[in-house]
């Protein structure tokens, strides 16, 4: 079980996506204890404002410290790791996802507009996390990605926990190509070995495919894989993998 608190200006954003699929079930059954907190509830402004103009000028608005300090203090317990979603953060990887899934409580703060006052980051945030090198219009999109990726590692979330072992990035490689019925579609055949029923050959084929696919599509991931496995001189050949 993991407690997940999300601080946002747009609580309604989460109504749909967090009710669907495995996440919906996990929240209903209590495997994920979700609390979506409306940042405006922590504003002391008559109009519940939470943003203001940036000092020094420039375009856009910045989330003010007051509501965020109060919301994060309300969310935080001694077991909480508080994350700010920001393009300036540490890149979310499967290793980081696994690490976060070991926490008892996560609080995800969603930025908006030009972002948040730096003093919030300096005083209230444990980790700044980015979901990629591009800019989203709000941290809510990033929060969904973090929440979903982390939830998959929470015991009981996945119908079949074995999927976690076999999938992309689990051991530094992408997943092998998947096929289902029919065996032939518009002239394209499913590879013979998958129809053979020979488990050893299927496993060897999948392993080769994973290595080849990773090398072709994600050379960065592949060279990390080689380094992790001390195979720096293994360029090109994967015989015996
Ligand atoms: N002015 C900011 C900058 O240039 O870095 C971008 C702000 S963005 C329009 C608004 C909010 O979306 C951010 O405060 C952050 O919470 C979220 N956001 C945008 N891109 C993100 C990313 N790649 N990863 C995580 N959060 C992101």
CATH topology for 168-235?
Answer: 1.10.1270
CA of 203 to the centre of ligand 1 (A): 42
Q: What is the mean pLDDT of residues 199-220?
A: 98
Separation between Cα atoms, residue 182 and residue 124, nearest integer Å: 54
Q: Which protein residue has the closest C-alpha to ligand 1 atom 2?
A: 114
CATH class of this structure's domain 2-151: alpha beta
Give the pLDDT confidence score for residue 165 in this predicted structure.
82
Give the pLDDT confidence score for residue 238 in this predicted structure.
46
pLDDT band at 237 (very low <50, low <70, confident <90, very high): very low
Checking if the pLDDT of 213 tops 70, the result is yes
- Nearest atom in ligand 1 to the alpha carbon of residue 137 is 9
pTM for the model? 0.93
Separation between Cα atoms, residue 127 and residue 103, nearest integer Å: 13
pLDDT tens column, 129-154: 999 999 999 999 999 999 999 999 99
CA of 143 to the centre of ligand 1 (A): 11
The domain ranges of the chain are 2-151, 168-235
Q: What is the mean pLDDT of residues 87-94?
A: 98
Checking if the pLDDT of 233 tops 60, the result is no
pLDDT tens column, 169-200: 989 999 999 999 999 999 999 999 999 999 99
């Amino acid at each position: 079980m993991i407690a997940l608190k999300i601080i946002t200006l747009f609580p309604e954003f989460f109504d749909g996506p967090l009710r669907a699929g495995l996440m919906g079930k996990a929240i209903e059954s209590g495997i994920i204890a979700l609390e979506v907190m409306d940042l405006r509830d922590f504003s002391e402004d008559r109009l519940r404002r939470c943003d203001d103009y940036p000092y020094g000028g420039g375009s856009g608005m910045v989330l003010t410290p007051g509501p965020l300090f109060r919301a994060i203090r309300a969310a935080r317990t001694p077991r909480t790791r508080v994350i700010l979603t920001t393009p300036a953060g540490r890149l979310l990887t499967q290793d980081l996802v696994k690490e976060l899934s070991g926490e008892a409580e996560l609080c995800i703060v969603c930025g908006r507009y030009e972002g948040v006052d730096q003093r919030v980051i300096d005083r209230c945030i444990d980790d700044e996390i980015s979901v990629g090198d591009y800019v989203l219009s709000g941290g809510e999109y990033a929060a969904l990605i973090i929440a979903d990726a982390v939830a998959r590692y929470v015991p009981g979330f996945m119908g079949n926990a074995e999927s976690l072992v076999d999938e992309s990035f689990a051991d530094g490689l992408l997943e092998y190509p998947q096929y289902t019925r029919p065996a032939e579609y518009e002239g394209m055949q499913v590879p013979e070995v998958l129809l053979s029923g020979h488990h050893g050959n299927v496993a060897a084929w999948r392993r080769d495919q994973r290595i080849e696919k990773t090398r072709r599509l994600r050379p960065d991931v592949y060279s990390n894989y080689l380094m992790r496995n001390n195979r720096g001189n293994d360029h090109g050949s994967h015989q015996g993998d």
